[in-house]
Amino acid sequence: MDVITLSRLQFAITTIYHYLFIPISLGLSILVAILSTIYLKNGNMAYKRLAKLFGKLFIVSFAMGVVTGIVQEFHFGMNWSEYSRFMGDIFGAPLALEALTAFFLESVFLGVWIFGENRLPKKIHCLSIWLVAFGSNLSSYWILVANSFMQHPVGYVINNGRAEMTNFLALLTNPYVYGQFAHVLTSGITTAGILVVSVSAYKLLCGENVEIFKKGIKIGAIYAVIGLFAVMGTGHLHTQYIGHNQPMKLASMEALWNNADPAPFTLYATIDTKKQKNTNVIEVPYALSFMLNNKPSGEVKGIKALQLQDQKKYGYYNYIPNVELLFWSFRIMLGLGMLMLAMMLITLYLVWKKRLSEYNTRWLRLLVWSIVLPFITNTVGWYIAEGGRQPWMVEGLQKVADAVSQNITSTEVWISLIGFTVVYALLAVAAIFVSVRIIKKDVTAEEGGGL
Amino acid sequence: MDLQLVWFILIVVLFTGFFFLEGFDYGVGILLPFAAKNDIERRMFINSIGPVWDGNEVWMITAGGAMFAAFPHVYATMFSMFYMALFLMLLGLIVRGVAFEFRGQYNSSSWRSLWDYMIFIGSILPAFLWGVAVTNLMKGFMINSDKIYMGTFWDLLSIYTIIGGITFALVFAFHGVTYLSLKLDKKSVVMPRLRLVGTCLGGTAAIFYLICMAFTYTNTDMYKSSLSLGLMLFAAIVFVLAVIARRQNSCGWAFIGSSLAIALTTAGVFVGLFPRILISTMNPAWSLTITNASSSPYTLSIMTVAAVIFVPIVLIYQIWVYWIFRKRITAKDLEY
């Protein structure tokens, strides 16, 4: 394999792995802060114990997120140095600002929160976890500002063969970043909510501290439902935006080869990318047009037309991303989103009817396993965002093939690729082991101060 | 003042802060398996940096981000040039970062000693590699007219740069000893041991520092700047004084000395490089300087405003955290 393919593979593996932990950190930090605040207000030990247990799980995911995040920052210089040269003027600023405004905040105050319980007034201790939560989520905003430029460049000129920033405010208010940030934030809330439900269900199955974990399930499910409604809403608006600004991404997500008006939403199809057509199609008429335009009509451009249009604009090249993967990723994302919503609503119904108890083992077991759903959904979601912009590194400005470092060899990338993959795999085992230990411990067993 | 110069100075400040803070942090990690004999002592060591190491590490991330934003060509050339070295450093930082959080979660001696060694590897490897990197920076690289590195990984390793690596690891280890001397319970049994370790380590580090300085004379053009030479000589003298102070049990002075030595050396290196950041050995005109490698004036001015606002804020709360956790650590208040 050549350096480009290997570098792409390495970036994909490290990013996907990184993003297994980020949504937990984003959503769980807020939830732990909320739990700590409730405890501060009413002094009910149940909330303190929940905050402690999920605080520990948060620390594990935070640590994993940080160490894999450093790899991401270095990647741009190591494997994608031509991208860094071309884009440094624009891309470096949000990264530096992330470190300066958010990363310091979360790292420093996480230390305060972990070690400061017996040394600080309760209110300051609680404030520190809020600062961590704020920092984590602000951090994701900066990263998404950088990513949004790659999806939809704004506020720049091309000068001396590189992109130069002309309007910083335009970068911060890139319409793409609103949709993406809202979607990421709410998917974090969803992921954390389902994690809390899953762990609480496990503890109920063990018959341990039933009263505490009944509360846990309720809080987790409410949090997840709020997250799910918001994630679907923001996802819908974001898709409309993509439909108008990244038509190739949208057409590929839909495997829509020819222009259509009105366009149907395809539920199932056998996609033939060579012949550029679909067979065995099951579709809902008008639905895609309706999704994009809020009315059952309106033309949606097909892949073939967009390919011709791009060739006219940017020269002879294949501008079609991996249609089959995008098509199915989108359907998995939508399908699992609805499945999660259904499961959480049923759980809330059971809680409301007081029919959810430790004896309800079948449903509880399902809830324990529901934890895999948000992770799959998050992963395919990012695949759609990043896979859908191929072959562009920066939409319309730089192709992935032109972004790779000039002086690295495929042997070097092979070594790092294998190295990262092996270490990440070992870390996954260790992180799961540690998390299971944390979950299995009796939450009422008091240990010395700290967390 | 010229914004490119402002950012050069800011990056020097970030690296100075990074080497000063992560210096003792790495030092504690390097000493962990050897200077601490049992689990209680090791937990005391780890707790001495527990609340702050994460924040310290952000200095490096910020320095990297600032380099990307202010001098993108330097970031691109340097990071792709150091590909293998950075890969190894990242592996070190990965295992180190998780080790602090994983170690205490399972009560088994083999589990804990596994992560103790990960902390050790994750501390000594980056410390050594930073030394290799800094000596390479002074020596220069085969950079062509397109700002692209033409050498290989092996060209980055020479007797000089390896001595640089060893020197950094030793200096950081001594810096760690001086930090621990201030942070651990005065009555602890570790204290006399730290004195002995400090003398041996510090003495060896001082010898390596001087050898490294001599090699810098033969391998680089740093001393063409008499300010650079002056700073590094001053650093060497201060370092020797710090070792003596540690031997005399003047722990406060020893820490001030090791901190000052690190700051002066960092400043000396950058003064010697100025106005270059990456030296081309193929043709001096192909070197990456603060003018030909920088971002646009617009980006630099935006970044300057951000730095003026946020750097003081970050400094204030980080100092506040050191203040909260200022108490010496005794075996009694070990927390997990």
SS3 call for A429: helix
Chain A 61-80, residues with CB within 8 Å of chain B CB atoms: 63-64, 66-68, 70-71, 73-74, 76-79
What pLDDT sits at residue A184?
Answer: 95
Burial of residue A183 (number of CB atoms within 10 Å: 0-12, 13-18, 19+): buried
The whole-model pTM stands at 0.91
Residue in chain A nearest B78 by alpha carbon: A77
Rounded distance, CA A232 to CA A250, Å? 17
Which chain B residues are Cβ-neighbours of A408 within 8 angstroms?
Answer: 80, 83
Residue in chain B nearest A446 by alpha carbon: B336
Q: Is the pLDDT of residue B122 over 90?
A: yes
A141 to chain B nearest CA, in Å?
Answer: 16
Band the pLDDT of B134: cuts 50, 70, 90: very high
The fraction of chain A above a pLDDT of 70, given in percent, is 98
Which chain B residues are Cβ-neighbours of A72 within 8 angstroms?
Answer: none
Cβ contact B299–A108 (<8 Å): no
Q: Please tell me what DSSP assigns to residue B188.
A: S
CA atoms within 13 A on the CB side of A365: 4
Question: Secondary structure of A113-143 in the HEC alphabet?
Answer: HHHCCCCCCHHHHHHHHHHHHHHHHHHHHHH
Using alpha carbons, list the distances in angstroms from residue A364 to A206, A219, A338, B101.
11, 15, 19, 30
**Residue pointed to by tokens 């799961």:** A432
Rounded distance, CA B289 to CA B270, Å? 12
**ipTM of this complex prediction, to 2 decimal places:** 0.88
Cβ contact B299–A71 (<8 Å): no
Q: Confirm if A248 and A236 have CB atoms less than 8 A apart.
A: no
pLDDT tens digits for A377-419?
999 999 999 998 989 999 888 998 889 988 888 999 999 999 9
What pLDDT sits at residue B335?
Answer: 53
Rounded distance, CA A54 to CA A135, Å? 18
Residue in chain B nearest A81 by alpha carbon: B76
Residue in chain B nearest A420 by alpha carbon: B91
Residue of B76, B101, B324 with shortest CB distance to A116:
B324
Rounded distance, CA A366 to CA A202, Å? 10
What pLDDT sits at residue B304?
Answer: 92
Band the pLDDT of A27: cuts 50, 70, 90: very high
Residue of A107, A427, A431 with shortest CB distance to B54:
A107
Using alpha carbons, list the distances in angstroms from residue B113 to A270, A451, B96, B176.
54, 21, 13, 20
Instruction: Give which of A56, A67, A162, A433 to mutate to test B binding, by max B Cβ within 10 Å.
Output: A67
Using alpha carbons, list the distances in angstroms from residue A302 to A251, A254, A261, A321, A395.
6, 9, 10, 13, 18
Q: Which two tokens stand for residue A186?
A: 């709410």
Weakest-pLDDT range from A42-56, A348-362, B21-35: A348-362
B230 touches chain A (CB under 8 A): no
Weakest-pLDDT range from A143-147, A287-291, B276-280, B285-289: A287-291
The mean per-residue pLDDT over the stretch A157-185 comes to 91
Band the pLDDT of A431: cuts 50, 70, 90: very high
Rounded distance, CA A242 to CA A251, Å? 10
Residue of B79, B97, B311 with shortest CB distance to A74:
B79
Rounded distance, CA B148 to CA B160, Å? 23
Chain A 398-427, residues with CB within 8 Å of chain B CB atoms: 405-408, 412, 415-416, 419-420, 423, 427
What pLDDT sits at residue A442?
Answer: 81
B109 to chain A nearest CA, in Å?
Answer: 15
pLDDT tens digits for A436-448?
999 988 888 765 4
SS3 call for A159: strand
The fraction of chain B above a pLDDT of 70, given in percent, is 99
Cβ contact A419–B87 (<8 Å): yes
Q: Confirm if A397 and A153 have CB atoms less than 8 A apart.
A: yes
Using alpha carbons, list the distances in angstroms from residue A53 to A57, A58, A110, A200, A358.
7, 9, 15, 10, 19
Residue in chain A nearest B151 by alpha carbon: A407
Rounded mean pLDDT of chain B? 90
The mean per-residue pLDDT over the stretch A258-268 comes to 84
What pLDDT sits at residue A450?
Answer: 42
DSSP string, A354-389: T---TT-HHHHHHHHHTTHHHHHHHHHHHHHHHHTT
Residue of A112, A447, A451 with shortest CB distance to B321:
A112
Weakest-pLDDT range from A203-207, B162-166, B176-180: A203-207
Residue in chain A nearest B67 by alpha carbon: A92
Band the pLDDT of A451: cuts 50, 70, 90: very low
Band the pLDDT of B20: cuts 50, 70, 90: very high
Selection from A337, A428, A315 nearest residue A384 by Cα: A337
Q: Confirm if B145 and B286 have CB atoms less than 8 A apart.
A: yes
What pLDDT sits at residue A55?
Answer: 93
Cβ contact B80–A81 (<8 Å): yes
Residue in chain B nearest A158 by alpha carbon: B296
The mean per-residue pLDDT over the stretch A163-191 comes to 92
Cβ contact A111–B296 (<8 Å): no
Residue with more model confidence, A287 or B141: B141
Q: Please tell me what DSSP assigns to residue B149.
A: B
Weakest-pLDDT range from A31-40, A187-196, B280-289: B280-289
Which chain B residues are Cβ-neighbours of A431 within 8 angstroms?
Answer: 98, 102
Using alpha carbons, list the distances in angstroms from residue A102 to A16, A135, A140.
22, 4, 9
Residue of A78, A114, A438 with shortest CB distance to B105:
A438
Instruction: Give which of B95, B105, B130 to mutate to test A binding, by max A Cβ within 10 Å.
Output: B105
Using alpha carbons, list the distances in angstroms from residue B123 to A116, B2, B21, B158, B200.
25, 37, 13, 22, 20
Weakest-pLDDT range from A269-283, B5-19, B112-126, B254-268: A269-283
Cβ contact B64–A74 (<8 Å): yes
Burial of residue B182 (number of CB atoms within 10 Å: 0-12, 13-18, 19+): middle
Question: What amino acid occupies position B314?
Answer: V
pLDDT tens digits for B239-292?
999 999 999 988 899 999 999 999 999 999 999 998 999 899 888 889 888 888
Q: Please tell me what DSSP assigns to residue A391.
A: T
Selection from B6, B280, B303, B149 nearest residue A77 by Cα: B149
Question: What amino acid occupies position A147?
Answer: N
CA atoms within 13 A on the CB side of A104: 25
DSSP string, B248-287: TT-HHHHHHHHHHHHHHHHHHHHHHHTTEEE-BSS-GGGS
Cβ contact A98–B65 (<8 Å): yes
Q: Which two tokens stand for residue B197?
A: 């370790």
Q: Confirm if A96 and B299 have CB atoms less than 8 A apart.
A: no
Numbers of helices and strands, H then E, in chain A: 15, 6
What pLDDT sits at residue A446?
Answer: 61
Q: Please tell me what DSSP assigns to residue A396.
A: T
Paired residues of A282 in beta bridges: A268
Q: Is the pLDDT of residue B336 over 50?
A: no
Question: What amino acid occupies position A206?
Answer: C
What pLDDT sits at residue A448?
Answer: 45
What pLDDT sits at residue B334?
Answer: 67
What pLDDT sits at residue B1?
Answer: 62
Q: Other C-beta atoms within 10 Å of A428: how many?
A: 13
What pLDDT sits at residue A144?
Answer: 93
For helices B190-219 and B109-139, the axis angle rounded to 10 degrees is 30
Which chain A residues are Cβ-neighbours of B146 within 8 angstroms?
Answer: 406
Q: Is the pLDDT of residue B112 over 60?
A: yes
Rounded distance, CA B173 to CA B131, Å? 13
Rounded distance, CA B1 to CA B183, Å? 41
SS3 call for A176: helix
Residue in chain B nearest A107 by alpha carbon: B55
Q: List, in sequence order, the alpha helices (H) in A152-246.
A: 168-172, 175-205, 210-245
The mean per-residue pLDDT over the stretch A225-244 comes to 92
B305 touches chain A (CB under 8 A): no
Cα torsion B94, B99, B105, B109: sign: positive
pLDDT tens digits for A112-137?
998 888 888 989 999 999 999 999 99
What is the b/e burial string over A189-207, where b = at least 16 CB atoms within 10 angstroms of the residue's CB? bbbbbbbbbbbbbbbbbee
Residue of A76, A92, A434 with shortest CB distance to B106:
A434
Rounded distance, CA B325 to CA A116, Å? 8
Question: What amino acid occupies position A71?
Answer: V
Q: Please tell me what DSSP assigns to residue A272.
A: E
Q: Is the pLDDT of residue A273 over 90?
A: no
A210 to chain B nearest CA, in Å?
Answer: 24
**Residue pointed to by tokens 């590699």:** B129
Paired residues of A157 in beta bridges: A164
What pLDDT sits at residue A295?
Answer: 81
